Structure 1
Amino acid sequence: MFQFNLSRVALLALEERETPDVDPGELPADLWDVIGTGGDQFRDWFTRLCLYMVLSGGDPSRPRTDDTVVIGTEYGNAAAVAGLQRAAAEQGRRLSAQAFPQAHSSSASAFVNLTIGATGRSITVNAAQLTPVLSLWQVLSAFAHGRSGAGHLLVGDVYSAEALADARHDETGLRHRSGVAYGVLTAGDEFTARFEFASDEKDVEGTEGTEGREHVGGHTWTSDDGDGRSPAAIGGDQPVERNGAFVTAEFLRLVLGLRPGRSAVLRCRGLDGRRATVTVSRKGGSDG
């Protein structure tokens, strides 16, 4: 059982595109003012969006802290890695070492940590459909072991050409929309979280709720707070998103709207039969 407080939830979403190019018209007008342009040649769009989500939510000028940064992503900095491979094929031994800082799977996490002065755990999680639950578990584990008092949770993807081709290779009917969800968590006792991990041979436990939403071909959130506020809930006729950013933002916003004593559940089911569930409850008794 983990305990935590949740202070902020945000989602930055882009429109689905047939080509993976980012349209500058979709970006926040203050993006460059917030993240700056220094060293931008070493950042891809996934890194830029992660930086914007973190820096636009507070004062980045704090001294070094023990904050933990966890980034859950299926494709991460795939665009930078692919770019390095193309450059290596074209330039061979002439390839400059300056190309390498941006071209690794966890460079977004490195940029975020360095920018905000975080000295706690720095983790990049790729657990396919289980990524939203596993990423939250990593943040709360840092609190439970006394390694950090604050955590930045970022979940999402920005689809490069290579990522989009891979995502469309084995699935049809899912929406491939770029976006990043952001949550700020701190050590505290306002909420409790219980995690369950299993496979198809043994179903995970969870709270049965009065409302549910199938998501990302294997993600479902439910709540026993039938009268509670769920501002992120969307109609069942919406396309199913592959990107875990959207279900993460929906679930965290649902958690923020829970009444005392009520619970919300996020269930993730992988294509290989693995399952992960988190049940979050708000402190306090049920309403009389």
Structure 2
Amino acid sequence: MFQFNLSSVALLAMEDPDQPDVDPEKLPGDLWDVVGTGGDQFRDWFTRLCLYMVLSGGDPSRPRTHDTVVIGTEYGNTAAVAKLQRDAAEQGRRLSAQAFPQAHSSSASASVSLTLGATGRSVTLNAGQLTPVLSLWQVLSAFANGGSSTGHLLVGDVYSPETLLDARHDGGDLRCRSGVAHGVLTAGDELTARFEFTADEESTARPGGYAWLRDGDESPLGDAGDAPAERNGAFVTAEFLRLVRGLRPAQSAVLRCLGTDGRRAAVTVSRKDESDG
């Protein structure tokens, strides 16, 4: 069992599911003011969106902290790698290792940590459809180990033409919308989280099984039958964290994720009962 507080939740989404990569005209008007342009030649859109999410409304000049940064993503910065390869092929030249200084799967978490001055755990993980639950577990584990008192949870993807092709080949009819969810968690005792990880080898569930509900509601927010058919975990993460923020004392919310291989991950978050002091 983990204890924590949830400070804020935000979602930045690109609404057009058929738009490869990011349409600059649909981005926040203050994006460049927030993230800056220094070193931007080494960034892809996924990194830019992650930076925007953690810097929006914050103080970029704050001192170094032992904050934790966890990014859960299926494709990460592969758009940057694919662009380098595509450009090289078009120009008829070979690539060397020097061409990949920032274009690797964990460059977004490295950029976020460096920009924030965060010296705590820096994690990039891909657990398929279980990513929202595993990412939250990583943040709370850092609190439990005493290493951090603040954690940035970022979950999402930006779909390039190559990643869209891969996603649609593997994910059936799941919708692919680019977007990133951001939650700021802090050490505290307002909320408790319990995790469960299981496997069902005989599962025949469709790819991308998400379900979330609130205990005690006559009409739960979602169940396995009507959960959104989204491949990107950003949307279920943001919806669940918003649900958690609205919990009443002693009320709980559950997020369940089901992978295509039968693996299951679930987290139950409960708000402290006022009678417990």
Q: Is this a same-fold pair by TM over 0.5?
A: yes
Q: Determine the structure 1 residue equivalent to 2:13.
A: 13
CA contact (8 A) 2:171 2:231 kept: no
Cα 1:202–1:224 shift into 2, 3 Å: farther
Q: Determine the structure 2 residue equivalent to 1:261.
A: 250
Cα 1:227–1:67 shift into 2, 3 Å: farther
CA contact (8 A) 1:228 1:258 kept: no
2:219 maps to 1:217: no
Q: Determine the structure 2 residue equivalent to 1:250.
A: 239
Question: In angstroms, what is the RMSD of aligned CA positions?
Answer: 2.6
**Structure 1: how far apart are the matches of 2:119 and 2:93?**
36
CA contact (8 A) 1:229 1:258 kept: no
Cα 1:198–1:56 shift into 2, 3 Å: same
2:200 maps to 1:200: yes
Please, which runs of 5 or more residues in structure 2 have no aligned partner?
none
Where in structure 2 are the equivalents of 1:45-194 lying within 5 Å? 45-87=45-87, 90-92=92-94, 95=96, 97=98, 99-194=99-194
**Structure 2: how far apart are the matches of 1:140 and 1:238?**
25
SS in structure 1 at match of 2:170: coil
CA contact (8 A) 1:72 1:124 kept: yes
1:91 counterpart letter in structure 2: R
CA contact (8 A) 1:68 1:152 kept: yes
Q: CA deviation at 1:88?
A: 5.4
Q: CA deviation at 1:195?
A: 0.4
Cα 1:221–1:215 shift into 2, 3 Å: farther
State how many pairs are aligned: 271
Q: CA deviation at 1:225?
A: 4.5
Cα 1:215–1:11 shift into 2, 3 Å: farther
**Structure 2: how far apart are the matches of 1:23 and 1:173?**
23
Q: Which stretch of the first structure deviates more once superposed, 82-91 or 122-131? A: 82-91
Q: CA deviation at 1:227?
A: 8.1
Deviations for 1:108-165, whole angstroms, at most 9, x for unmatched residues? 0011000000000000010000000000000000000011110000000000111100
Give the TM-score normalised by structure 1: 0.87
Deviations for 1:75-129, whole angstroms, at most 9, x for unmatched residues? 1101112123335554326x582x3222110000011000000000000010000
2:29 counterpart letter in structure 1: A
**Structure 2: how far apart are the matches of 1:14 and 1:215?**
24
Please, which runs of 5 or more residues in structure 1 have no aligned partner?
204-213
**Structure 1: how far apart are the matches of 2:226 and 2:220?**
20
2:277 maps to 1:275: no
Percent identity among equivalent residues? 75
CA contact (8 A) 2:49 2:180 kept: yes
2:200 counterpart letter in structure 1: D
Cα 1:145–1:118 shift into 2, 3 Å: same
